[in-house]
Amino acid sequence: MSQTMIKPPMSMPIPKQAIPKFHYLNRCYPPRNIRCKIASMVDSSSGMENVDLLESKEKTEIKVGPYPGGIGPHTGRDPNVQKPKWLRQKAPQGKKFEEVKESLSRLNLHTVCEEAQCPNIGECWNGGGDGIATATIMVLGDTCTRGCRFCAVKTSRNPAPPDPMEPENTANAVVSWGVDYIVLTSVDRDDLPDGGSGHFAQTVKAMKTLKPEIMVECLTSDFRGDLKAVDTLVHSGLDVFAHNIETVKRLQRIVRDPRAGYEQSMSVLKHAKNTKRGMITKTSIMLGLGETDDELMEAMTDLRAIDVDILTLGQYLQPTPLHLTVKEYVTPEKFAFWKEYGEAIGFRYVASGPLVRSSYRAGELFVQTMVKERTKGTSGSEL
């Protein structure tokens, strides 16, 4: 659909700092294909940029095509495509939500709920229908060393060093909330020798010291495939080891940072399962990126082959025009089919829905019961 744009007066000065630029992996890319003919001239003495538009009447209509979006063949956003009604969420609010938010701010803690713009933040922090509040704390800072093309978390090659007080602050915050189940996750820290696994493990141990009965799920990076780093975290006292493969095999290089990979992620999940008896493993896949049904079935079969217990499936939503475009909005009925299929082939639990995320309602009663059963079974077998 054509749009109308009004030209500003001729020779309108624009300060250089006002020209919008987008951050991606420490590079600044100006918006591409500006939809009007501009002849620019930099006045070095004034430090201003004069933009002279072609002469015309004061109000000139210019026909423009579809919004070109960001960079590359897989990015951009079509303003004519609307999200379906099942993806609309109310703005987060509520007493519990405000309490959690204030506590996080006071202790300088980060959550993936906020950093990754999760649509379920209000429901999870308030406890949903069962009253079990779930917040996913993000340790090792809020800046990632990788640049996956679906993720809204900040990136840098050299992020700030981890806060040495973070394990203690995280434990104090979690205990003050009175929750029984907590999810810890982290950014990728390829700049650290152990990928941050030692810091991650310290946080788990600090929480278990203050509240031994708390159940801890760790949603981890792949630690560059370093299985010793996986060992460090698995033996820290956590109850559920989670690592996301994110998408099907064919789309890995398009969706994820080149340092990640399908086989590497499978290796991490397999090692976590085998290195500690009774360890519950979990992963997540985004739908709507262009995967086929056969490809998703193949990924689910591969995950069951390494005995992954829990799978979450959710709709990919594009955070900005610089991120990957949505290829398909998968219907709630199709998500219901995948839940049934997944549990039929052996997953202990499948959470599948348009707004489901890897940590969505992680502490719900079914998962808590599964953890308790595995703990009892492991203890009994060791007697």
Which CA distances in Å does 185 have to 3, 144, 230, 265, 335? Answer: 43, 12, 14, 16, 25
φ/ψ (deg, to 5) at 131: 80, 5
Q: Please, where are the H alpha helices in the chain?
A: 95-106, 112-115, 121-126, 166-177, 197-210, 227-234, 252-255, 262-275, 293-305, 332-344, 365-382
Residue 113 assigned as binding residue: yes
Amino acid at 170: T
Quick check: helix, strand or coil at residue 12?
strand
By residue count, the chain amounts to 383
DSSP 79: T
Q: How far apart are CA 372 and CA 36, in angstroms?
A: 63
Residue 144 assigned as binding residue: yes
Residue 28 assigned as binding residue: no
Quick check: helix, strand or coil at residue 266?
helix
Amino acid at 100: V
Quick check: helix, strand or coil at residue 290?
coil
Q: How far apart are CA 36 and CA 54, in angstroms?
A: 9
Residue of 136, 115, 201 whose CA lies nearest to 162: 201
Residue 151 assigned as binding residue: yes
Q: Counting Cβ atoms within 10 Å, is residue 137 exposed (0-12), middle (13-18) or buried (19+)?
A: buried
Contact between 189 and 195 under an 8 Å Cβ cutoff? The reply is: yes
Q: How far apart are CA 50 and CA 38, in angstroms?
A: 10
Q: Which residues fall in the annotated binding site?
A: 113, 118, 124, 144, 148, 151, 359
Q: Which residues fall in the annotated binding site for [4Fe-4S] cluster?
A: 113, 118, 124, 144, 148, 151, 359
